[in-house]
Amino acid sequence: MKFIVCNNYQEISKKAAEIIADVIKAKPDCILGLATGSTPVGTYKELIAMNKAGDISFKTVKSYNLDEYYPISPDNDQSYRYFMNENLFNHIDIDMANTHLLDGEAKDPDAECKAYDKAIEAAGGIDIQILGIGRNGHIAFNEPDEALIAPTHKTGLTADTIDANSRFFESADLVPKHALTMGMASIFGARKIILLANGASKAEAIKELLSDEIKTSNPSTLLKLHNDVTIICDKEAYGE
Ligand code: F6R
């Protein structure tokens, strides 16, 4: 596992965008694994700027997002589909048909999750997966627990995550209590993973990533088992 410690959020965003741009340049029809949340927004801004400047093109790129609330409509401004359209897809030359998110309105969520894993596999697997990290160490919506789930699945959100995400909703009651999320195996299927973290609220979780331990009470520590993971964080998250 490699650590890149940056001076500030902008540096994290630039570094992450450079790594993603290199993957796109090397393989114009690559598959991106994308994340929502506040952390990758700066990276998406950098990618938009590179696309507008003609440095990279998304015309043949496909994307699969990590997760989506359940239940939620794609038109709800708190859905992750809405977030991705607003923060990235509407501003780049990607074909919307090539952008994939789990369906927050799926009648049969289990079938939806199974089909999602199959679709990623059929597309050839994710070339680069972008991850944020919860302050409790969650990645995607794989929350701390005694056991973690390997494939994409429906899950309940912890009180901590509902509390953290309530900043985007009018009140905590309105935060959906469930989500569909890529599982640990789905994430580990990516050939390359970058995890972005900024701010002191992530320092506890990152400290455990820096230790030698692997534990399901901090799902991000399992990333130590993957052979191509880069953590890009600022000094506050690194604990300096
Ligand atoms: C989002 C996701 C979550 C976030 C995490 C950090 O798709 O899967 O695991 O990455 O909750 O969120 P922020 O970046 O808002 O601190």
Distances (CA, A) of 107 to 29, 50, 72, 111, 112: 31, 38, 12, 9, 8
| pLDDT value at 8 more than 90 | yes
Digit-coded pLDDT (tens) for 180-231: 999 999 999 999 999 999 999 999 999 999 999 999 999 999 999 999 999 9
Give the residue whose CA is nearest to atom 10 of ligand 1: 132
Top mutation candidate among 100, 133, 167, 218 for ligand 1, by most atoms within 8 Å of CB: 133
Supply the residue whose CA is at minimum distance from atom 12 of ligand 1.
37
Residue 57 has pLDDT above 90, yes or no: yes
C-alpha of residue 141 to centroid of ligand 1, in Å? 8
Clarify whether 68 is annotated catalytic: no
Known catalytic membership, residue 143: yes
Of ligand 1's listed atoms, the one at least distance from the Cα of 181 is 8
Considering all CA atoms of the chain, what is the largest pairwise distance in Å, rounded to the nearest integer? 47
Q: How far apart are CA 19 and CA 186, in angstroms?
A: 21
The predicted model gives 81-91 an average pLDDT of: 98
Residue 50: per-residue pLDDT:
98
Tokens of 94: 């990607």
In this predicted structure, what is the pLDDT of residue 236? 98
Give pLDDT, residue 168. Answer: 86
pLDDT of res. 38: 95
With contact defined as beta carbons under 8 Å apart, do 231 and 197 qualify?
Answer: yes
Residues 86-107 have a mean pLDDT of: 98
Residue 240 pLDDT greater than 80, yes or no = no
Q: Dump pLDDT digits (tens) for 25-39.
A: 999 999 999 999 999
- Cβ distance 141 to 157 under 8 Å? yes
